[in-house]
Structure 1
Amino acid sequence: MTHIDPELYRRMAAYNSWMTQKAYEAAGNLSDAERKADKGAFFRSVHSTLNHILFADRAWMRRFTGRPYDIKGMGVDLFDNFDELTTAHLQICDDINVFADELSEDWLSGTLEWTSVTDRKTRRRPRWLLVTHMFNHQTHHRGQLSTLLFQAGIDIGVTDLPFMPDLIGEYSD
């Protein structure tokens, strides 16, 4: 049996919320046209990269919780309107925090079986691995996003987990 401390995922959920808020604040400094401009990124633009992160979060949370989150196909924007995208993304962050707060070692040590909407294959993987993947996926694409924003002249600021504001009070420097 694998022993994964659920506290790891609570910390990653808090990090996700912090970074998502920072990403949307930074992206809000761009015009709609600038956010949607194809910059040659994997998901083309700032706007579509944000949509993709939300898509994946919804897909994984749907698998983990059974909640019927609305998703479209891979690479299809869920929201065209930035304000609606922002609201939906911050909502999934709240949902992920609640999910992480309720995780247990027993649940994490189990296996999840799902059928991919992309290739229709059924897969089985350890839950802890899939939850880890969800957080890793967010971080990966936020890295792309921070590069796109930096290229547009916007510095998203500190992104390192050890410097997340809620940790500052817990540890002395």
Structure 2
Amino acid sequence: MMTNAAVRLLAQYNRWMNERLYAAAEVLGEELRTADRGAFFGSVHGTLDHLVRGDMNWLARFENQPLPDFGPGPLVCPTWEALVALRQQTDNRIDAWAAHVSDEWLAAPFSWYSAMYNQQMNMPAWIAVSHFFNHQTHHRGQVTTLLSQLGMDIGITDLPMMPSLNNNVAPA
């Protein structure tokens, strides 16, 4: 079972990694960032856009709010500036949510309708929260691979090496 302490740690890791990936993607420039690289969501930008969309959907579910209406088009944020701003806002929301989620809520039943699987989903909330953070890590791994293919190394990505946990490691 997941606890509030684990949720807060994973939210902190989420922000640390997003800041590093976005800093690296910024250096790429628009052309390289949006070029289709054959990834599931095409480009670095497309993958980061998918990730912020997923995070916003999960937060809406966790906060018992309607899912966001992203409007027409494949991207939530077609411009880099809009994507950077939405990522920062979303990470702030994740941090605020993580600070207040209770161990009791994490242990309680949680239900939502999955359009992807076309069915009602029911499980303890901590499993859905685990998926939320695993989804982030999965897609950040894809972005890390795309950046590596472009000759960029963002450095260590392991949770135990997060500077706030390990004072022996300088932030990369």
Q: What is the one-letter code of the residue matched to 2:51?
A: I
- TM-score (norm. length: structure 1): 0.90
| Deviation per residue, 1:33-56 (Å, 9 max, x gap) | 111111111111100000011011
Residue matched to 2:5: 7
Aligned match for 1:40, one of 23, 31, 38 = 38
Q: What is the rounded CA distance, in whole Å, between the counterparts of 2:127 and 2:9 in structure 1?
A: 16
Q: Is the 8 A contact 1:35 1:45 kept in 2?
A: yes
Percent of paired sites with the same residue: 41
Q: What is the rounded CA distance, in whole Å, between the counterparts of 2:22 and 2:150 in structure 1?
A: 14
3-state SS, counterpart of residue 41 of structure 2: coil
Aligned match for 1:116, one of 94, 97, 114 = 114
CA RMSD of aligned residues (A): 2.0
Superposition deviation, residue 168 in structure 1: 2.1
Q: What is the rounded CA distance, in whole Å, between the counterparts of 1:85 and 1:12 in structure 2?
A: 21
Q: Is the 8 A contact 2:2 2:126 kept in 1?
A: yes
Does residue 81 of the first structure (1) align with residue 96 of the second (2)? no
Structure 1 stretches of 4+ with a deviation exceeding 4 A read none
Judging changes above 3 Å, is the alpha-carbon distance between structure 1 residues 89 and 71 closer, same or farther for their aligned structure 2 residues?
farther
Give 5+ residue unaligned stretches, structure 2. none
Superposition deviation, residue 72 in structure 1: 3.5
Q: What is the one-letter code of the residue matched to 1:80?
A: P
Superposition deviation, residue 115 in structure 1: 1.3
Q: Is the 8 A contact 1:36 1:45 kept in 2?
A: yes
Q: What is the rounded CA distance, in whole Å, between the counterparts of 1:79 and 1:151 in structure 2?
A: 24
Give 5+ residue unaligned stretches, structure 1. none
Aligned match for 2:101, one of 103, 107, 112 = 103
- TM-score (norm. length: structure 2): 0.90
State the number of aligned residues: 168
